[in-house]
Chain A
Amino acid sequence: MIGVNQVSQMWLGLKQALNLLFSLDQEVYKIIMLSLSVSLTATFISSIIGAPLGIFIGIKNFPFKRILVRLLYTMMSIPPVIAGLVVFLIISRKGPFGYLGLVYTPAAMIIAQSCLITPIIMGIVYNGTKERGSLIKALGKTLGASSGQAMLLLIRELRTNILSAVVTGYGRAVSEVGAVMIVGGNIKGHTRVMTTTIAMLQSMGDYSTAIAIGIVLLGISFLINSILYHFQQGA
């Protein structure tokens, strides 16, 4: 049961969220902007890679396709900390890509989030393509579309499904904490994002500020999802 104390913490958090948003606090805005830029960049990269691959797997038959699909489904539910740990080991100073100096940078966070959400976007697009892809491809052929035109037709017809995949991928990216904490390190002013800030504030016992940041995160997610939803409905 939620006690009186918790309710007052939440109420305080709500008031603080409004204060945070309108206080023009540079640090808060930096955290918000970094969260958005990391998650949106990761979503963009994952969409560019995941959507075409999902379509390809959906319409083509090739050896070991079933195994690949099972692997894809497994990757869709990979725990973020494991993804973060693997990326960390690869880009850490002693790792194979250590010379790039990516560890504890926003770029590392983008890589980790991309690794997490590319399979999600790919999997959702694959499922949509599997159901309607062959029908759309056959239609394109019967109407005389070239292979390029047929591919464009496929993307156009699957746009609702692709947008759903992008929305889901973004949702996963923006709410993710484990992977970005490992590869980013939650460094103040450098790799601190909203989710890692919330985790840090919670461990410090500053619940009302944690709730305030959480409310800001929810508000921004609502805004971005509303925009994507608008496009999805139009499609």
Chain B
Amino acid sequence: MNVLLRNIVKVYEQFPALEIEEWSIKSGALWGLIGPNGAGKSTLSKIIGRLEAATAGEISYDGNPYTTQLQKEMTVVFQKPYLLRTTVWENIAYPLKIRGYGTKEIKNAVEDILYQMEIGPIMHQKSWTLSGGEAQKVALARALVFKPRLLILDEPTANIDPAAVAVMEKMIRRANEEAQITVLMVTHSLQQAKRLCKEVAFMHRGKIVEAGPTEQILYHPSSALTKKFVQGELLID
């Protein structure tokens, strides 16, 4: 899904939190949003995912304005996901059920993603009994099972174990490369951005300072601010 942002402004109680003149995400891209705390990364991802409204500006999706139908083609996974108070299986099946899939289709799709995410053994477990890593895997599986065209991830691997991170990164890469899902991922980890993202946008004080191919931004940044950030000198805004 192509996403184009123009003159996006977000103001919180007269404090400008976001100001993006123009930025585009091409279909099939895997973007990483990096920057210090308070840079506006999560706010931007929520605005693109339509969970927050921009104070001004416009976003087009495949050249068209947002419609409620479009919401069925994109999804957001949060750092602390909310899982339904039911089993892992029911959590993953939910997006398919509301889309009217048949029982057999649901069974096949859920079993497939459970296997790929290595969470088959916990499929009958209630959501509130899961560890942080398991919960994140279930949230990602639930987001991927209906094959959205735009996947927005807000620090999906923060505070989880390395093994779970590896599985999640594998799945995100596979979703992007094999299913051509456009991915926008907010991450604090430069290592993760290097491993996973094709392109990276560096944000500071609500603005995109620099955006481009990952290698260029992380190894040869043109902005002094980006350079400071990648060298670990600008962690908190």
Give A contacts to B, CB under 8 Å. 132, 135-136, 138-139, 141-146, 149, 153, 156-157, 160, 235
Closest to B145 in A: A143
Query: What chain B residues lie within 8 Å of A160 (beta carbons)?
Result: 85
Q: How far is the CA of A149 from the CA of B72 in the complex (A)?
A: 12
Is the C-beta of B194 less than 8 angstroms from some C-beta in chain A?
no
14 contacts between A and B (CB under 8 A): A135-B82, A138-B82, A139-B84, A142-B77, A143-B94, A143-B95, A143-B98, A143-B143, A143-B146, A144-B75, A144-B95, A144-B99, A153-B84, A157-B84
Closest to B152 in A: A142
Question: Which secondary structure dominates chain A's binding surface?
Answer: helix
Q: How far is the CA of A144 from the CA of B71 in the complex (A)?
A: 5
Is the C-beta of B10 less than 8 angstroms from some C-beta in chain A?
no
Is the C-beta of B41 less than 8 angstroms from some C-beta in chain A?
no
Closest to A160 in B: B85
Q: A157-B84, A157-B85 are in contact. Are A142 and B98 (CB under 8 A)?
A: no
Q: How far is the CA of A52 from the CA of B179 in the complex (A)?
A: 41
Q: A144-B72, A144-B146 are in contact. Are A138 and B95 (CB under 8 A)?
A: no
Is the C-beta of B50 less than 8 angstroms from some C-beta in chain A?
yes
Query: What chain B residues lie within 8 Å of A157 (beta carbons)?
Result: 84-85
Which of A132, A139, A141 has the most C-beta atoms of chain B within 10 angstroms of its own C-beta?
A139
Q: How far is the CA of A235 from the CA of B49 in the complex (A)?
A: 31
Is the C-beta of B33 less than 8 angstroms from some C-beta in chain A?
no
Query: What chain B residues lie within 8 Å of A144 (beta carbons)?
Result: 71-73, 75, 95, 98-99, 146
B98 near A149 with CB under 8 A, answer: yes
State the Cβ distance, B12 to closest chain A Cβ, in Å: 15
A141 near B51 with CB under 8 A, answer: yes
B51 near A142 with CB under 8 A, answer: yes
B146 near A139 with CB under 8 A, answer: no
Q: How far is the CA of A170 from the CA of B72 in the complex (A)?
A: 40
B82 near A139 with CB under 8 A, answer: yes
- Name the contact of A138 in the complex, choosing from B51, B84, B94, B143 (C-beta under 8 A): B51
Query: What chain B residues lie within 8 Å of A153 (beta carbons)?
Result: 84
